[in-house]
Structure 1
Amino acid sequence: MSAAPIRFYHRYKQAVEVERVLGERWMRLAYDNPAGRFVVWLLTRRAFFSRWYGHKMRKPESALRILPFIAKYDIDADEFAKSPFDYKNFNEFFFRALKPHARPIAAGDAVAVFPADGRHLVFPNVDTADGFYVKGSKFSLAELLGDDALAAKFAGGSMLISRLCPVDYHRFHFPVGGTAGDSRLINGWLYSVSPIALRHRLRYLIENKRVVTLIETPRAGTVIMVEVGATNVGSIQQSYVPGRPVQKGEEKGLFAFGGSCVITIFAAGRIRFDADLVEQSRNHVETYARMGDRLGTLT
């Protein structure tokens, strides 16, 4: 199962595509055999490894990687808020801002939007889902949130898992408008969140470093956002001001270098996900969509 290519549904092309995985050979060596997983356990899941790689990506000479990376992965530089030649290092390019209108926000007070660019899975009821990335492979909300009482309030709730690849825009945004509270850090490891790794062990998502934020909204009640770190993503930076009203689509924060994940949780009966997302997710196929695009309707 893990050696199979990663396929996803491209919402805009309405076709299934195969993901081009950055460092795929290394990823498969690391997670597809026992010796590689031992090296991950011993070394790459630890914070110092990501700090070392992050330091490497902040060196001025790392800027030489930018143009080849844009060309190899066909990234649209016209969306960037500044020229590719103006980034001082690769990490600065990685968490780049976009032009104000590069990601239109779907209109409508009852419409929720994707919080990030990436490949998305939705689960209308987390309690009855038959698995997330692999059939039968799940985790509990209590484990994810580190809070039994909070998890109990979201029993039977709906969940969106948004997986960001290194080639994606790496800022995350609010899927709904409301008032965001303080963010709460749950420290943990930094395993990869690629399906190559998650097919072996989905629990990496609840063992990794993560940040939990509650958003109080007028239509959907409380909505939870969880940003999950991963290998080479030791830094999850928040840019919003706690306690201040936020608009749907407003920037919440950013990830430094690497792949990462944002999980959004709605209380039971509070959202109706769009049909194409539900259909693909039922078959454990992620849907590629961009931040600001329509996710579903608040109920």
Structure 2
Amino acid sequence: MKLDKIEYIDRKTNMILVENVPGENFLKFLYHNPFGKLPLELLVKRKCLSSFYGKLMDQKKSINKIEDFVKNNHIDMNESQKKVGDFTSFNDFFYRKLKPNARKIEDGLVSPADGKAVGFEKINDWDKFFVKGSEFCLEKYLNNKELLEKYKGGSMIIVRLAPADYHRYHFPADGKIGSRNKIDGYYYSVSPYAIKENFGVFCENKRELTTLETSEYGDVLISEIGATMVGGIEQTYTPDTHVKKGEEKGYFTFGGSSVLLLFEKGKVMIDDDILKNTKNGYETKVYMGEKIGE
């Protein structure tokens, strides 16, 4: 299966839309052209390229990219605390903060980020969206046998942040948040161009794991995943404290990325439309604070 375009469901209209993908032709070359495999394995998946590009996005002259990026991706800057001319670098724009009322925090379990979501009632149902045989291994992803036993048979939601999305992530529920566990890895793309045929890249990429202890949903595992051109995963919360739903947890520096949520068996009911769209092969557009389960 080779994707020609990335389609997703707009939750508000239930319409199928096509995602605007920066660097689309390059992604297709890397992941769907035999000649793309060499640069992918030798350079693109490695930290050096993403770190180098991330540093370029920290430089003052990178502000010249902001205006065109906003225009080409139809970004609503009325939500931003800063205006286009106030940013000090492209990265400063990329992980911009929104105005306090830009996102409504709804009842129930909410999305930790703006992005496209897929949901699985049972973790091993992932092959209803991704191609069978692409070797996602929960044990390898968690790198911890105790966590494996805890979340085996549970539910999973993945929210994929495209480069045009708001790139701060937040807590999906009230609870007590623990300290982060970093797992080193590569920087493969998390675009559907890459992961539809190889969901296993999630097990290869750099990621962080944190447990949120909640009274409503059990222990929710929150995991941020790095990807190509993601310069870093920055946590802004204080470990071992009580947090409120919708409070900021951290942000990604330049690039696309994902937030993965794991739930213990029987603790969460993911919203029906997200499950249905996933089974039909579509991601669902969600916004931070929007209800995704109960």
Matched, 1:142 2:139: yes
**Which whole-Å CA distance do the structure 2 matches of 1:16 and 1:201 have between them?**
23
Aligned partner of 2:47: which letter?
A
Instruction: Give the total of aligned pairs.
Output: 294
Give a deviation string over 1:267-286, Cα, whole Å, max 9, x none: 01111111111110111210
Give a deviation string over 1:131-164, Cα, whole Å, max 9, x none: 4433554512211111122111111100001100
Give how far 1:72 is off.
0.9
Cα–Cα, structure 1 residues 128 and 93, in superposed 2: closer, same or farther, change >3 Å?
A: closer
2:119 corresponds in structure 1 to 122
Cα–Cα, structure 1 residues 129 and 44, in superposed 2: closer, same or farther, change >3 Å?
A: closer
Match of 2:182 among 175, 182, 185: 185
2:256 corresponds in structure 1 to 259
Contact 2:128–2:278 (Cα < 8 Å) also in 1: no
1:294 corresponds in structure 2 to 291
SS in 1 for 2:104: coil
SS in 2 for 1:214: strand
**Which whole-Å CA distance do the structure 2 matches of 1:128 and 1:55 have between them?**
38
Aligned partner of 1:206: which letter?
C
Give how far 1:84 is off.
1.2
2:59 corresponds in structure 1 to 59
Aligned partner of 1:242: which letter?
P
Matched, 1:199 2:200: no
Match of 1:112 among 109, 112, 125: 109
Aligned partner of 1:191: which letter?
Y
**Which whole-Å CA distance do the structure 2 matches of 1:185 and 1:118 have between them?**
23
Contact 2:111–2:287 (Cα < 8 Å) also in 1: yes
Aligned partner of 1:72: which letter?
N
TM-score by length of 1: 0.95
Cα–Cα, structure 1 residues 128 and 261, in superposed 2: closer, same or farther, change >3 Å?
A: closer
SS in 2 for 1:16: strand
1:13 corresponds in structure 2 to 13
State the identity as a percent: 41
TM-score by length of 2: 0.97
SS in 1 for 2:123: coil
1:210 corresponds in structure 2 to 207
SS in 1 for 2:269: strand
Matched, 1:281 2:278: yes
Cα–Cα, structure 1 residues 55 and 128, in superposed 2: closer, same or farther, change >3 Å?
A: closer
The answer for unaligned runs of 5 or more in structure 2 is none
Give how far 1:80 is off.
0.1
Give how far 1:19 is off.
1.0
The answer for unaligned runs of 5 or more in structure 1 is none
**Which whole-Å CA distance do the structure 1 matches of 2:67 and 2:210 have between them?**
35
SS in 1 for 2:99: coil
Q: Which moved more, 1:3-12 or 1:251-260?
A: 3-12
SS in 2 for 1:127: helix
